[in-house]
């Protein structure tokens, strides 16, 4: 049975994005529109998966989303929460470095900062008072099961604790958006569960929280995401492949009644199969 939800303001708008490295065009005409999803009586963030074969431009898209790579043309807009809403809609602004947190595959942490110090540093650009910062950090440490690790340095943390600290650090420093490039690669089953739990915690802690992640595990993407974009090489009218990445397909799992379920049902597996076929062609 499909779960009821509403869609509110646009929270991410990628408009005709083209990204090139020098002369080499990597991504072309990428369009993405994501809206704030609202579920009655529940904080429901957005979880968006980006799938595609190697070299199709997933990491390049993420670099553009975090503001690290400037678009060759097109633009990436997010709401500007520093301005008052007009006609019930926040004005939009171009995404800038710092708006979107970026967690790399290695979950890199500062070697010389304890968990608490790293999170304190993550809040450096906020206007919170010292007491408010402390309260916020302690709240998250408790919620994320890291209270006991508060004064530990990265070398003394387990893999799961490191991952949670790195994710939390980005969450605190960036606000609502977070990009994770292949966060599940090379993790054992236990740590995959840890990262999945962090996704849940982020998603449930604020309605505007928006996670974008890439993975080669299609089943995991269908299990976790409520929206999936497939990046790949399109074909021209003659059926020749164009070697520039773009969005080949978008699956809105909410609309399909496949979002927010525990585990995979037959309909989910059909969707996985469908995605595989599209990816193999592009």
Ligand X SMILES: Nc1ncnc2c1ncn2[C@@H]1O[C@H](COP(=O)(O)OP(=O)(O)O)[C@@H](O)[C@H]1O
With contact defined as beta carbons under 8 Å apart, do 75 and 225 qualify?
no
DSSP codes joined into one string, 185-224: TT--HHHHHHHHHHHHHHHHH-TT-EEEEE-S-HHHHHHH
The verdict on 149 binding ligand X (CB under 6 A) reads: no
User: 3-state DSSP call for residue 55?
Assistant: coil
With contact defined as beta carbons under 8 Å apart, do 202 and 167 qualify?
yes
Q: Which of 28, 37, 59, 161 binds Mg ion (CB under 5 A)?
A: 59
The verdict on 129 binding ligand X (CB under 6 A) reads: no
Partner that binds at residue 98, options ligand X, Mg ion, none, CB closer than 5 to 8 Å by kind: none
Which residues neighbour 20 within 8 Å (Cβ) at sequence distance 6 or greater? 26, 72
Residues in contact with ligand X, total (CB under 6 A)? 11
With contact defined as beta carbons under 8 Å apart, do 50 and 246 qualify?
no
The verdict on 240 binding ligand X (CB under 6 A) reads: no
The verdict on 57 binding ligand X (CB under 6 A) reads: yes
55 or 257, CB closer to ligand X? 55
56 or 164, CB closer to ligand X? 56
Partner that binds at residue 56, options Mg ion, ligand X, none, CB closer than 5 to 8 Å by kind: ligand X
Which residues in 18-47 contact ligand X (CB under 6 A)?
21, 24, 26
How many residues make up the chain in this entry? 282
Q: Which residues bind Mg ion (CB under 5 A)?
A: 58-59
Q: Which residues bind ligand X (CB under 6 A)?
A: 21, 24, 26, 52, 54-60
């Amino acid at each position: 049975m499909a779960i009821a939800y509403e869609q509110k303001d646009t929270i991410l708008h990628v408009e005709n994005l083209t990204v090139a490295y020098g002369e080499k065009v990597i991504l072309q005409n990428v369009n993405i529109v994501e809206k704030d999803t609202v579920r009655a009586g529940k904080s429901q963030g957005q979880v968006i998966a980006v799938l595609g074969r190697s070299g199709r431009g997933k990491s390049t898209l993420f670099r553009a989303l975090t503001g690290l790579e400037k678009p060759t043309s097109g633009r990436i807009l997010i709401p500007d929460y520093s301005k008052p809403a007009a006609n019930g809609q926040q004005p939009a602004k171009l995404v800038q470095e710092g708006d979107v947190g970026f967690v790399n595959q290695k979950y890199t942490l500062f070697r010389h900062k304890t968990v608490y110090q790293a999170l304190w540093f993550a809040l450096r650009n906020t206007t919170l008072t010292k007491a408010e910062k402390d309260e916020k950090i302690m709240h998250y440490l408790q919620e994320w099961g890291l209270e006991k690790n508060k004064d530990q340095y990265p070398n003394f943390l387990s893999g799961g604790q490191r991952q949670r600290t790195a994710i939390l650090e980005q969450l605190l420093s960036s606000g609502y958006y977070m990009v994770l490039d292949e966060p599940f690669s090379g993790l054992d089953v236990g740590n995959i569960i840890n990262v999945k739990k962090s996704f849940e915690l982020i998603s449930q802690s604020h309605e505007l929280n928006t996670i974008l992640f890439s993975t080669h595990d299609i089943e995991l993407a269908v299990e976790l995401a409520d929206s999936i974009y497939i990046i790949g090489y399109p074909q021209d009218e003659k059926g020749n492949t164009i070697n520039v990445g773009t969005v080949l397909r978008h699956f809105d799992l909410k609309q399909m009644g496949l979002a927010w379920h525990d585990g995979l049902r037959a309909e989910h597996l059909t969707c996985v199969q469908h995605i595989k076929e599209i990816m193999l062609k592009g």
